[in-house]
């Protein structure tokens, strides 16, 4: 769930011509069928830099900053409280601005970004061509009496308490070490630690959103977009448990595993990216069709 190994903040140049408003929260590379990249908690759109440059040879690649991260660092304060549908709405606004209404979009997401991609496919099914998901943190699929759910609720509470107390580096350390192993945070360069600590205020909202959906597994069974579930064999047990439940619930789902951890797309892109590229390419032929219009 954490971007525990951060790439450089920016590539050498951004060829996108950004308009006013939310445009600063995205990059655009290449031309072709659209692919939207969604990042992990504590990360930004630039975690996908190497994949974006690879996909841009065949696709129009759109990297988005989710609420609280990258160019969207101002925390949302919606009436009634923050929820997952606010992330879906942010992604939808950007997609509608950048992609023709008749085109469907390939979503690629890791961890929290994978959750947002999956929820987008449920809430806006006619807009999604395919889903490539690396260990989406769909905590809501876990039953209330599941020990894995109790474990993640305990993590969320420890992080929230540290954030509330102003102990930003403690919050970042607890979070990063859970997802990438003990000592991961201490092993980072000081600028990388500072970058993570600066963003921790959003983490309690991310946990809240991840705990709230799906309402039941029928929400997952209703997703008709072809999906590829990716994961690492060195990741925490909880995401492997979630992967199993998603495999049982998504009706059109493939699986691939790699010898890496939860941050595989960042730490091991040469292993992970070819599978993402191949799946997106195989799903591209059906990505253009008229959208359903409801009155």
Residue 106 lies in a domain: yes
Residue 157 lies in a domain: no
* Whole-number pLDDT of residue 1: 67
Burial of 266 by CB count in 10 Å (0-12 exposed, 13-18 middle, 19+ buried)?
Answer: buried
Asked if residues 47 and 54 have their Cβ atoms less than 8 Å apart, the reply is no
* Whole-number pLDDT of residue 8: 42
Section 225-234 average pLDDT = 97
Instruction: Give me the CATH number covering residue 243.
Output: 3.40.50.1820
Residue 32 lies in a domain: yes
What is the tally of structural domains in the chain? 1
pLDDT in tens, 174-207: 999 999 999 999 999 999 999 999 999 999 999 9
**The pair of three-digit structure tokens given for residue 185, joined into one six-digit string:** 């945070």
Buried b vs exposed e over 154-180: b needs ≥16 C-beta within 10 Å? ebbeebbebbeeeebebbbbbbbbbbb
Cα–Cα distance measured from residue 131 to residue 98, given in angstroms and rounded to the nearest whole number: 19
Residue 13 lies in a domain: no
User: Residue 136's domain spans which residues?
Assistant: 21-143+213-284
- Nearest partner of 25 among 65, 57, 60, 55, judged by Cα: 65
Residue 208 lies in a domain: no
pLDDT in tens, 202-229: 999 999 999 999 989 999 999 999 999 9
Average pLDDT over the chain, rounded to an integer: 90
* Whole-number pLDDT of residue 184: 96
Higher pLDDT, 283 or 17: 283
- Nearest partner of 262 among 285, 242, 292, 283, judged by Cα: 242
Residue 165 lies in a domain: no
Residue 255 lies in a domain: yes
Q: How far apart are the first and last CA of the chain?
A: 38
Residue 14 lies in a domain: no
Strands of the 33-38 sheet, one edge to the other:
26-29, 59-64, 33-38, 105-110, 128-134, 227-232, 253-258
* Whole-number pLDDT of residue 31: 94
What does DSSP say about strands 26-29 and 59-64: parallel, antiparallel, or unpaired?
antiparallel
* Whole-number pLDDT of residue 74: 85
Q: Does the pTM of the predicted model rise above 0.75?
A: yes
**The pair of three-digit structure tokens given for residue 113, joined into one six-digit string:** 């970004």
* Whole-number pLDDT of residue 12: 39
**The pair of three-digit structure tokens given for residue 137, joined into one six-digit string:** 């943190």
């Amino acid at each position: 769930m954490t971007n525990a190994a951060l790439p450089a903040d920016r590539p050498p140049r951004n060829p996108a011509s950004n308009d006013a408003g939310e445009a600063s929260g995205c990059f655009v590379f290449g031309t072709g069928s659209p692919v939207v990249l969604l990042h992990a908690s504590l990360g930004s759109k630039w975690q996908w830099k190497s994949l974006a440059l690879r996909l841009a040879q065949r696709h129009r690649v759109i990297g988005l900053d989710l609420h609280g991260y990258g160019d969207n660092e101002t925390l949302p304060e919606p009436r009634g409280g923050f929820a997952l549908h606010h992330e879906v709405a942010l992604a939808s606004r950007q997609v509608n601005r950048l992609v023709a209404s008749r085109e469907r979009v390939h979503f690629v997401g890791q961890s929290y970004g994978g959750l947002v991609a999956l929820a987008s496919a449920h809430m806006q099914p006619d807009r999604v061509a395919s889903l490539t998901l690396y260990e989406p943190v769909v905590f809501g699929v876990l039953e209330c009496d599941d020990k894995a759910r109790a474990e993640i609720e305990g993590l969320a509470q420890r992080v929230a308490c540290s954030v509330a107390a102003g102990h930003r580096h403690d919050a970042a350390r607890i979070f990063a070490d859970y997802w990438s192993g003990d000592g991961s945070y201490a092993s980072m360069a000081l600028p990388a630690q500072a970058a993570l600590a600066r963003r921790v205020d959003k983490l309690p909202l991310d946990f809240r959103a991840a705990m709230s959906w799906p309402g039941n597994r029928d929400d997952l069974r209703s997703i008709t977009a072809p999906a590829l579930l990716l994961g690492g064999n060195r990741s925490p047990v909880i995401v492997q448990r979630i992967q199993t439940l998603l495999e049982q619930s998504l009706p059109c789902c493939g699986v691939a595993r790699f010898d890496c951890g939860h941050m595989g797309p960042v730490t091991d892109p040469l292993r992970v990216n070819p599978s993402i590229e191949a799946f997106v390419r195989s799903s591209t032929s059906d990505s253009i069709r008229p959208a359903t219009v409801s009155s």
